[in-house]
Amino acid sequence: MPYLPAQPSETLTPSAPLAYLKMRLRQTIPIELMSDETLLAYLSEAYQDACERARCLPALTSIPVTDAQEYDLPADFAEILLVYRDGVELERIPNRLAMRADAWGYYEYGGKIGLSPAPQTGSSTSAIWLVYARRPAAFVTYDDALEAAFTPEFFDALLHYARWKRYAVDGGAGRISQASWERDRWRIMVARLRQSARAVDAASRSRFVHVLETLHPSRRGLANDVDAR
């Protein structure tokens, strides 16, 4: 039977999504094969990885600049989308070129963002404006809420991920085949989540527009910069 992607439910939006997902998983994975704690960990991995890959949680922040070359990125940082300083978009510098004297822009590694050339000692303090994709917090209990961007039609992605990981552990030709199928369904749904995050809404504006217009209200075309990445 061909795989039919999950569709948005018109009647069901669980008030406790994780408890609902656990109930569904227990129909095929009994507690003897996977503890509640391990199951929650798999759901958390699936959720965080899906949101990070889909870039569905954009955020805007400013980082004060002094005379240092490197600055801490936000704790929930997953990926840089755009960087501005003094109204100018900075280009990303490959890390292998970041220390060159003629490099101009920003580089990123290990939770740090660096500026090149480095700000001069005694120069006036300004700020970096950063548009980034954030990583949601890990689940702690089955009562935890999901981000609004992770709507019910994508809940099945978490089920596919947990089954994939469980079947891969079991081994054997049959289980490996099942694991591969679940992995492929997981990837399909993550791709759909990313498409949803980049989709144009009823007003023909990207979901990123509210972030970008806050940064530069006069440059409506900035949404296209992010959608193209």
Specify which of 41-50, 146-155, 175-184 reaches the highest per-range mean pLDDT. Answer: 41-50
Reference 144, options 17, 25, 51, 52; nearest CA is: 17
pLDDT greater than 80 at residue 12: no
Rg (CA), the chain: 21
Paired sense of beta strands 112-116 and 126-134, if any = unpaired
Structure-token pair, residue 157 = 């992605």
pLDDT tens profile 143-165: 999 999 899 999 999 999 999 99
Are 18 and 159 in contact by the 8 Å Cβ rule? The answer is no
Q: Considering all CA atoms of the chain, what is the largest pairwise distance in Å, rounded to the nearest integer? A: 68
CA–CA separation, 199 and 204 (whole Å) = 9
Name every residue whose Cβ is closer than 8 Å to that of residue 26 and which is 6 or more positions away in sequence. Answer: none
Across 31-45, 87-101, 207-221, least confident range: 207-221
Reference 132, options 72, 187, 192, 43; nearest CA is: 72
Structure-token pair, residue 164 = 């994939």
Mean of pLDDT values over 179-194:
95
Q: Between 12 and 169, whose confidence is greater?
A: 169
Q: How confident is the model at residue 1 (pLDDT cuts 50, 70, 90)?
A: very low
* Stated pTM of the model: 0.77
Q: How confident is the model at residue 210 (pLDDT cuts 50, 70, 90)?
A: low
Listed in order, strand segments (DSSP E) in 6-111 are 58-65, 70-72, 77-85, 88-89, 105-109
Q: Which residue has the tokens 């049959």?
A: 174
